[in-house]
Chain A
Amino acid sequence: MTVALAAVDVQKKIEAKFPGTTSIEKNAILVKAESLLDVMSFLKKSPDLAFDYMTTITAVDYFDYFEVIYLLVSMEKNHGLTIKTRVFDREQPSLPSVISLWHSADYQEREIYDLMGISFKGHPNLKRIVLWPEFKGYPQRRDYLQ
């Protein structure tokens, strides 16, 4: 059984290394966008967490902000964790890319860029993936009108 790690325990470990970067949101850890890459890198490299597998990245539009959700799994330890981060800028939303840690972020970040309009800094090939390059707008946003 893939154990869902208690967010509180993992948050303590993160806070010990990067104080003031995280908070708890139900059973997920909410990370500040600017320290996302540091925290993710810690989660991957720390031997007792060892999150080697990035299952999913997805984004939800809440009008006031975009929430980007990362589902991490450790195949070695068989446990999982949900990481969230928020982007408040609606005009030019941007986040650091995690592609340097998990290559599986490649197409998923492109998809979020394509449909939700969040750009990922550090992504080597950030362009539209399912829609054509001339397409205007980001259809997955809640306020999108055809």
Chain B
Amino acid sequence: MTMQTEPYVLNVGPVHPSTHGVFRMRVTLDGEVVINVEPVFGYLHRGIEKLAEERTYTGIIPLTDRLDYVASMTNNAAYCMAVEKLAGIEVPERGEYIRVIMSELQRVAAHFISMGSFLNDCGSYFTPFLLMFRERERITDLFEMVCGQRLMYNYIRPGGVSQDLPDEFVPALKTMLEQMKKYIEEHEKLLKENEILIARSRGVGILPKEMAINIGASGPTLRSAGVKWDIRKADPYSVYNRFEFDIPVGEQGDCYDRYRVRMEEVKQSFRIVEQAVKQLPGGPVRAEVPQLIRPPKGETYAHIEAPTGELGFYLVSDGGIAPYRCHIRAPSLMNLTVLRDMMIGWKLQDLIVIFGSFAITMGEVDR
């Protein structure tokens, strides 16, 4: 006689240690196997796109800090690029270099959090997570040095950055880069071929190449599927074409590949920072920009490679002091599209690993 099972619905979240924010999955299970997932979100919806319509162009920057709140620098950078494109503002060379340094350090800091929490989900409970947080502290220390803030920077402004680097920044950065090499080595020794990590994530949650493109995935999620697409190379912005770096890609698009792509990207980011510090020119850090920016009538789209993927701002101006429309292309939201298709057929414990491997930030999904 065969046993009859009845599917039942389980709520994962909204408040659950593995959802990294307030995210809910209505999971239908057949025994332990997932047969349907319905993502429910919006718990963190603050209406940032609407709020932006009644603020000045510079007044919106603090709002962008609160999108992907572990990568505020890149949010600032993407938004400011859109404003500059709309208003025709040229950024001085030193400003561009500082932006690149900040963006790459931010990428490392964000990847440390996403890798740490992913490893947490895989079962290596809090040891690598706290190690990564300890190293991330060094980067937030540097950010504090330049702008006085550790999380919500509001540092990158239309026309450049808010203030020049302090004298002690470059020596501190060089020391950090030197020490970080040792840490990366240590981390790789600990986890690269870790048996438990590989058992939990190798071959789990495979995202095929065609599907990754079709669902609009970007960032490490897309590259882990073997697509060599990075906005920094595909559509170079700022001064990225002056640096040498590689785009790491995955082989089969599983959770382990997504972790590996992030780790390799961290190494590439340090490579870029090293080159940028070496080439760092002198001069002003910010162009002369009026206090109230009134871009001419028109619309524009600017995008950058943020830690989670392609972050874009679509701005429409009617000639006033506030944008007529400000749409944010949030990479986390787009990467979530595939969640349901990827989770069906896997077991409940894999669901946590798959979700963790995407490194979603809810601030960006809900906006």
A-to-B contact residues, CB < 8 Å: 1-2, 52-56, 58, 60-61, 69, 71, 75, 78, 82, 102-104, 106-108, 111, 115, 128-132, 139-140, 142
Known interface pairs A58-B314, A60-B325, A130-B367. Does A104 touch B45 (Cβ–Cβ under 8 Å)?
no
**Minimum CB–CB distance for A118 against chain B, Å:** 14
Does B50 lie within 8 Å of A140, measured CB to CB?
yes
Out of B50, B214, B236, B329, which one reaches A55, CB within 8 Å? B329
Does A107 lie within 8 Å of B337, measured CB to CB?
yes
Residue interface mask B215-245, A partner, CB < 8 A = 1: 1100000000001010000111000000000
Complexed CA–CA distance, A6 and B211 (Å): 28
User: 11 A–B contact pairs at CB < 8 A?
Assistant: A56-B312, A58-B325, A69-B314, A71-B312, A75-B229, A75-B234, A82-B301, A102-B216, A108-B334, A130-B42, A142-B53
B327 within 8 A of A: yes
Dominant secondary structure at the B interface: mixed
Does B301 lie within 8 Å of A56, measured CB to CB?
yes
Does B42 lie within 8 Å of A131, measured CB to CB?
yes
In this complex, the member of B50, B325, B367 whose beta carbon has the largest number of chain A beta carbons within 10 angstroms is B325
Does B214 lie within 8 Å of A52, measured CB to CB?
yes
Does A53 lie within 8 Å of B213, measured CB to CB?
yes
Complexed CA–CA distance, A82 and B234 (Å): 18
Which residue of chain A lies nearest to B43 when distances are taken between CB atoms in the complex?
A: A130
Residues of chain A contacted by B80 (CB below 8 angstroms) = none
Does B337 lie within 8 Å of A75, measured CB to CB?
no
Does A104 lie within 8 Å of B214, measured CB to CB?
yes
Residues of chain A contacted by B293 (CB below 8 angstroms) = none
Residues of chain B contacted by A130 (CB below 8 angstroms) = 41-42, 45, 366-367
B69 within 8 A of A: no
